[in-house]
Structure 1
Amino acid sequence: MTPTSMSWQIEHPRLTEFAASAEARWDRALPDYPALHAWSVEHPEEFWASVWDDFEVACSAPYEAVLTGGPMPHHEWFTGARLNYVDQVFRHCGADGPVARDGAAIVSHAEDGTRAELSWAELEEQVRAVAGTLRDLGVGEGDRVVGYLTNAPETIVAFLATASLGAIWAVCAPDLGASTAASRLAQLEPRVLVANTAYDWAGRTYDRRSEVLELADACGVSAIVEVPRAGLTFDEDAPAIPARMRRVPWNDALSGAPLAQTAQVAANHPLWVLFSSGTTGVPKGMVHSHAGVVASHLSMFRLCLDCGPADTLFWYTTPNWMMWNIVTSALIAGTRTVTYEGHVAYPAPDRLWRLVADEAVTIFGTSPGHLHLGAQSGQEPGRDLDLSSLRAIAVTGAPAPAVLNVWVREHVRQDVPLLSVCGGTDVVSAFLGCSPWLPVHDGELSGPALGVDAQAWDPEGNPVVEEVGELVIASPGPSMPLYFWGDEDGSRYRSAYFDTYPGAWRQGDWVTRTDRGTFVVHGRSDSTLNRNGVRFGSSDIYDIVESDPAVADAVVLGVELEGGVYRMPLFLVPAPGHELDDAELDRIRQRLRSEGSPRHVPDEIRVVRGVPHTRTGKKIEVPLKRILQGAAPGAVLDSGAIDDASLVEDYVALGREWGTQP
């Protein structure tokens, strides 16, 4: 029989040493994960002090108190401490550090196959030089530097250089249009823009020099640091940079007078601003702190993922997604990180698996969609490639159905666990996920992350088990935002998370907490499906239809209409080589009925060219629902924030048939 759970086989997990240290320091009995987690949320001052001290956070002044204030969101972490995120990176390669200065810190791959390494020593040298250049451009503590950049080493260098000055960083990938990027970055009124001149995608080069100038103008920057791609620069054949803006080629930035000392900032000093997807309204800028990010990411890497200096992390991402920040933070655990700028399946569907093999990756991060691609295209990475170094695969961005656990065991390696993680841009870390002390159950998340008081609540605010409820975080965490950018009175921040359950954080996901402590994520609660009062998540349908070999992608919507009418259409994209005719659609309906229930069968199924996603790969369920309810497309989504705006017309067409669209 195919197993439905497995142990994560780590001989000496760092978590065991951490728990033993905490038992001795705090006189606590911590024999298993439930006890350890309970201690971490019931005594957060003790837990986070242990994270800070055991992992030797580099700081120039110690904290006076771990946690003060309250209730949420009125709390502060590590008051009194002075530090810099960047110091956590380079402490690993000192004279007594665990990594060799000439060892690779970043390994980069371009879509054309170009590979490069940046050693720890070279990374530090480049960061200090670019920081000196930014300082000469007038950037100081509290100023903003923004990027329009791919997932490449220059992006990490530019961020670390910014942070080392105590300045604030934000970035968008250059596949976003200039106006869409400006809707985010211009909010910050930055001094400097660091930008790629072009990017490659699926074998094609996209010249972005005009977009760079448009974005620079919208942001009002005084300088552009030019990071060339495809041989394109702002020379004779390029659009002219306005005289009021200084142009600094990247090679010149690397020759800046090195910064001698990082700025030592307060614990709650802003580190970066991450933006919401922006599919509706003005994107929210979520501001995170140096201390909060350092503590949360050390806990995540060292205790949850068991990552350290002997590991190599490769997580496919883009700077549009908070996973880029996670990839960068692998460096604070002393972990080598791999970057890739290009299409997930170019020149062949197994591109990412080949990178895993070539770089002897130990932790591979990807999305459920990428694993579905492997299954649908008949890939056999475990048979065809040397994946002997791989010890875990992590997935996030969408709920991972049980069928993917089975596929990994059968087609990657029997003993490699699939670690499903649920977090958010909001906290740039995980709420639910994995632990070396917890088994991995197919289709489930192993448990709440340490230090995260994650629960499922009913509408009255009561915790529920074995029932669908709202994902709620009942006590504060270090990487919750300091505030939203431009939200002077805090009203947008409070309404986003705390209005439903005052004093507790509502994430906006439907989850079930099982009686063994695992979680099942059903999808966004604001796009919940409701059949005759029975609520369930869209992932319950995706688990079934997206495992079908005839289906490449799907989106299901629950649409409330006037007069109490409720309709649930399902949109399917055919897999290559398959035709979704009436017979196939009847077969899929039967699967939904038998593997789900009669309530899982949609009112109608539409075959469409594609499902529109955000630039980070998430289905835009809520805007599509609003369109079917009669909203004008331009009022509920920013076309520049989705991967293919032309696809929206198929959903508008259904609205016309329903009479909700003109």
Structure 2
Amino acid sequence: MPQTSTTDEPIWLPDPAEAAGTRIARFADLVARRTGIVHADYQSLWTWSVQDLPGFWTAVGEFFDVRTSERWECVLDDAPMPTTRWFPGARLNYAEHALRAGDPADTAVVSVGEDGTTSYTTWNELRDQVGALAAWLRRRGVKAGDRVVGYLPNTPHAVTAFLATASIGAVWSACGQDYGADGAANRFAQLEPVVLFAADGYRWNGQQHDRRAETDALRTELPSVRVTVQIPNLGLPASTNADTVRWEDALAEPAQCVFQQVAFDAPLWVLFSSGTTGTPKGIVHGHGGVLLEHSKLLGLHLDLKPGDRFLWYTTTNWMMWNLVVSGLLVGATIVLYDGSPTHPGPERLWELAAEHRTSVLGVSPGYLQASAKAGLEPGRALDLPALRILGSTGAPLPAQSYHWVRDHVGPRVQVASTSGGTDIVSGFAGSAPTTPVWPGEISAPLLGVALQAFDIEGRPVTGKVGELVVTRPMPSMPLYFWNDPDGTRYHQAYFGAYPGVWRHGDWMTRTAHGSLVVSGRSDSTLNRHGVRLGSADIYAVVDELPGIRESLVIGAELAGGAYWMPLFVVLEADHELNEALRDLIKTAIRTHASPRHVPDAIIQVPALPHTRTGKKLEVPVKRLLQGTDIDQVAGREAVDDIAALEYFTRFVRPSANTGPTAHSTTTGVPR
């Protein structure tokens, strides 16, 4: 069974007076005026939004004053996914909309370094920087369609470089400097970029990391690059290479912002998949689709508006960075933090939220669980009057964390657990100021997202685990994959299971009261006697137990028909995996999940491998246990700790038809 609330009673309900003043309430009023249909609740508005896609997205464009320089022929054509075209004929520019919303003297960007250094950039200063940098790019011959890349930490330089690139119709892509030169080149070389922006280094966990040598190595692997712009994040001496320009020199000559009008589906940026199953896929999104989707998500679902401050912990590797930058579209002040979220202590993000009076704070489920285990009391220890929404994404959020937020952050803070992906650079499901919140559940499908759970026959199901699918197109679905000229890889990735329907690869349950439970990746399914189980159900129990830092569960089909479901645990420093702890784990799983969820073995490991964005590598570990070579299960640069992944090779037997031995599975000592 999925991890859901033990009651049908919500843990959080909208305040009617507050809900009436939100952007989504005003949007519903606009819809009523346009259509004559009054929507009494969120469910009614959502149903209309997916039944009348042209009406809904036209209303979104009107509500957020999306401006086009040329009129569109239609909202969307009749072509099936994935070849649907949105607003053909329309021309616009994402950066133009991002830079128009704020008052010139107000703060557009707050940037905080791990060492506490803080800078403030006004809207007027941001426009001036973008205008100057865009003019410099033009003088360097960069034009619409060219690719510009950033090897950058999460600082204002990345925001300025991206907006300048977008303003001239060039295509942006970025990755963080925790990638080595080879890892960055695996992504960027596919794009044949003409300009590289690179910082001299970054800070993490109290240490400075000089990346000038890595930048030089990366530069040699990108022969198409004509010039590198060095950004003084650490203040190290600048490169003396003839084709390197200092950041301040690139911005030295003032110029007004000029926005190249491009087609609605012109490429805006290329985001890359994690690369854990092969060469990272370049996922291309367009100006118009991102503009509409992000305005809807940030403006209607998170109720962000001018005067609000928006902080979501991320790096430039992750799609959440792109979403944070889009906070500018709705006039919000974006707060950037570059560094470890737990340095110098686990309360770091809470302190930032208090200091900068953020309205929306976004964190990971792991951060909330770590805050609870550390005994933090953010609502009592800090001044958080502005905090309205606490967002969580990246993994399913267990029910216990909802209760912890209510009791230790504040009862009026809405938990906005979301599910989405790099693939759509947006969300499928989340919340709104008008939706209740149930512990362990995501409040509702997002507006305009025709979300369903499908059984194996492609039929919608409620109350049962099914495949998360989207049955109608979304504007921010990928335009295409880079270097996939006939669309074969794109089609296989999402449309191979159900023709004309997007299959995302997650297990999802729709509840009777309209909420959703996402219970893990469907490609890493646990299967006990024909019953499909979600790994999230086990993590929600085990990761809350004292002494457990983190856990990973795998269901591996072995030769000869054997099936092995081990649970790997990382323990706190002062704990050991003895029989008492094993019994505690088994009893907790049996009680709070089900007897089927109890693993075959519990094994202690020193660390778990993750993607660079913090997701547990369930599938690569599973394939390792099945005997696949480590270099075939994951690209080394895509893993945050390759030694942690290598450790799992000791649990593979040359002859897997009997499974690992009883000795190795019960004690964690490899043969």
User: TM-score, normalized by length of structure 2?
Assistant: 0.95
Quick one: which of 640, 644, 656 aligns to 2:641? Answer: 644
Residues 552 and 576, structure 1, Cα contact 8 Å, conserved in 2: no
CA positional deviation for 1:232: 1.5
Q: Does 1:354 align with 2:358?
A: no
Q: Does 1:440 align with 2:445?
A: no
Q: Which residue of 2 aligns with 1:499?
A: 496
Q: 1:338 is paired with a residue of what secondary structure?
A: strand
Q: Does 1:230 align with 2:239?
A: no
Q: Which residue of 1 aligns with 2:666?
A: none
Residues 61 and 81, structure 1, Cα contact 8 Å, conserved in 2: yes
Q: Which residue of 2 aligns with 1:179?
A: 182
Distance, in Å, in 2 between the alignment partners of 1:306 and 1:234 is: 42
Distance, in Å, in 1 between the alignment partners of 2:549 and 2:647 is: 17
Q: 1:67 is paired with a residue of what secondary structure?
A: coil
CA positional deviation for 1:260: 4.3
CA positional deviation for 1:579: 2.6
Write the mapping of 1:131-280 to structure 2, written as runs, cut at 5 A.
131-220=134-223, 221-235=225-239, 241=241, 243=242, 246-280=243-277
AA aligned opposite 1:116: S
Q: Which residue of 1 aligns with 2:534?
A: 537
Residues 131 and 259, structure 1, Cα contact 8 Å, conserved in 2: no
Q: Which residue of 1 aligns with 2:375?
A: 378
AA aligned opposite 2:171: I
Q: Which residue of 1 aligns with 2:668?
A: none
CA positional deviation for 1:381: 0.9
Q: 2:369 is paired with a residue of what secondary structure?
A: helix
Q: Which residue of 2 aligns with 1:30?
A: 39
Distance change in 2, residues 1:260/1:334 (3 Å): closer
Residues 129 and 255, structure 1, Cα contact 8 Å, conserved in 2: yes
Distance, in Å, in 1 between the alignment partners of 2:244 and 2:25 is: 52
Distance, in Å, in 2 between the alignment partners of 1:580 and 1:101 is: 58
- Partner deviation per Cα, 1:324-345 (whole Å, 9 max, x = no partner): 0000000000000100000111
Q: 1:570 is paired with a residue of what secondary structure?
A: strand
Q: Does 1:115 align with 2:118?
A: yes
Distance change in 2, residues 1:575/1:418 (3 Å): farther
- Partner deviation per Cα, 1:510-556 (whole Å, 9 max, x = no partner): 00011111100000000010000000110010010011121111110
Q: 1:6 is paired with a residue of what secondary structure?
A: coil
The percent identity for this pair of structures is 49
Q: 2:496 is paired with a residue of what secondary structure?
A: coil
- Partner deviation per Cα, 1:368-414 (whole Å, 9 max, x = no partner): 01101101111111111001110110000000000000111111112
AA aligned opposite 1:198: G
- Partner deviation per Cα, 1:423-472 (whole Å, 9 max, x = no partner): 00000000010012210111000010000000000011000000000000
Q: 1:75 is paired with a residue of what secondary structure?
A: coil
- Partner deviation per Cα, 1:85-140 (whole Å, 9 max, x = no partner): 011122213xxxxxx21111000000011011000000000011111111122210
Q: Which residue of 1 aligns with 2:95?
A: 86
Residues 327 and 337, structure 1, Cα contact 8 Å, conserved in 2: yes
Distance, in Å, in 1 between the alignment partners of 2:79 and 2:70 is: 24
Quick one: which of 23, 26, 34 aligns to 1:17? Answer: 26
Q: Does 1:302 align with 2:304?
A: no
Gaps of 5+ in 1: 94-99
Distance change in 2, residues 1:647/1:471 (3 Å): same
Q: Which residue of 1 aligns with 2:389?
A: 392
Q: Does 1:336 align with 2:333?
A: yes
Distance change in 2, residues 1:256/1:656 (3 Å): farther
Write the mapping of 1:391-410 to structure 2, written as runs, cut at 5 A.
391-410=388-407
Residues 565 and 600, structure 2, Cα contact 8 Å, conserved in 1: yes
Q: Does 1:106 align with 2:109?
A: yes
Distance, in Å, in 2 between the alignment partners of 1:26 and 1:255 is: 51
Residues 310 and 358, structure 2, Cα contact 8 Å, conserved in 1: yes
CA positional deviation for 1:598: 1.4
Q: 2:87 is paired with a residue of what secondary structure?
A: strand
Write the mapping of 1:55-74 to structure 2, written as runs, cut at 5 A.
55-74=64-83
AA aligned opposite 2:614: G
Q: 2:198 is paired with a residue of what secondary structure?
A: strand
Residues 455 and 466, structure 2, Cα contact 8 Å, conserved in 1: yes
Distance, in Å, in 1 between the alignment partners of 2:179 and 2:73 is: 43
Distance, in Å, in 2 between the alignment partners of 1:576 and 1:405 is: 27
Quick one: which of 610, 613, 616 aligns to 2:610? Answer: 613
Distance, in Å, in 1 between the alignment partners of 2:377 and 2:573 is: 18
Distance, in Å, in 1 between the alignment partners of 2:493 and 2:253 is: 42
Distance, in Å, in 2 between the alignment partners of 1:399 and 1:260 is: 42
CA positional deviation for 1:658: 6.8
- Partner deviation per Cα, 1:604-654 (whole Å, 9 max, x = no partner): 111111111111000011111111111100111112111111111221111
CA positional deviation for 1:590: 1.1
Residues 134 and 257, structure 2, Cα contact 8 Å, conserved in 1: no
Q: 2:100 is paired with a residue of what secondary structure?
A: helix
Q: Which residue of 2 aligns with 1:6?
A: 12
The more displaced of 345-354 and 574-583 is: 574-583
Distance, in Å, in 2 between the alignment partners of 1:572 and 1:64 is: 56
Q: 1:46 is paired with a residue of what secondary structure?
A: helix
How many residues are treated as equivalent by the alignment?
649
Distance, in Å, in 2 between the alignment partners of 1:338 and 1:577 is: 36
Q: Which residue of 2 aligns with 1:508?
A: 505
Q: Does 1:454 align with 2:457?
A: no
Q: 2:76 is paired with a residue of what secondary structure?
A: strand
Residues 128 and 257, structure 2, Cα contact 8 Å, conserved in 1: no
Gaps of 5+ in 2: 1-5, 661-670
User: TM-score, normalized by length of structure 1?
Assistant: 0.96
Distance, in Å, in 2 between the alignment partners of 1:621 and 1:573 is: 15
CA positional deviation for 1:577: 3.1
Distance, in Å, in 1 between the alignment partners of 2:257 and 2:325 is: 22
Distance, in Å, in 2 between the alignment partners of 1:357 and 1:30 is: 36
AA aligned opposite 1:639: R
Distance, in Å, in 2 between the alignment partners of 1:233 and 1:616 is: 30
Q: Which residue of 1 aligns with 2:625?
A: 628
Q: 1:154 is paired with a residue of what secondary structure?
A: helix
Residues 127 and 257, structure 2, Cα contact 8 Å, conserved in 1: no
AA aligned opposite 1:172: C
Residues 363 and 392, structure 1, Cα contact 8 Å, conserved in 2: yes
Q: 1:295 is paired with a residue of what secondary structure?
A: helix
Q: 1:107 is paired with a residue of what secondary structure?
A: strand
Distance, in Å, in 2 between the alignment partners of 1:336 and 1:495 is: 39
Task: Quote the RMSD (CA, aligned, Å).
Answer: 1.5
- Partner deviation per Cα, 1:347-369 (whole Å, 9 max, x = no partner): 11111110000000110001001
Q: Does 1:124 align with 2:127?
A: yes
AA aligned opposite 1:6: W
Write the mapping of 1:517-536 to structure 2, written as runs, cut at 5 A.
517-536=514-533
Distance, in Å, in 1 between the alignment partners of 2:95 and 2:75 is: 21
Distance, in Å, in 1 between the alignment partners of 2:300 and 2:271 is: 24
Distance, in Å, in 1 between the alignment partners of 2:157 and 2:646 is: 38
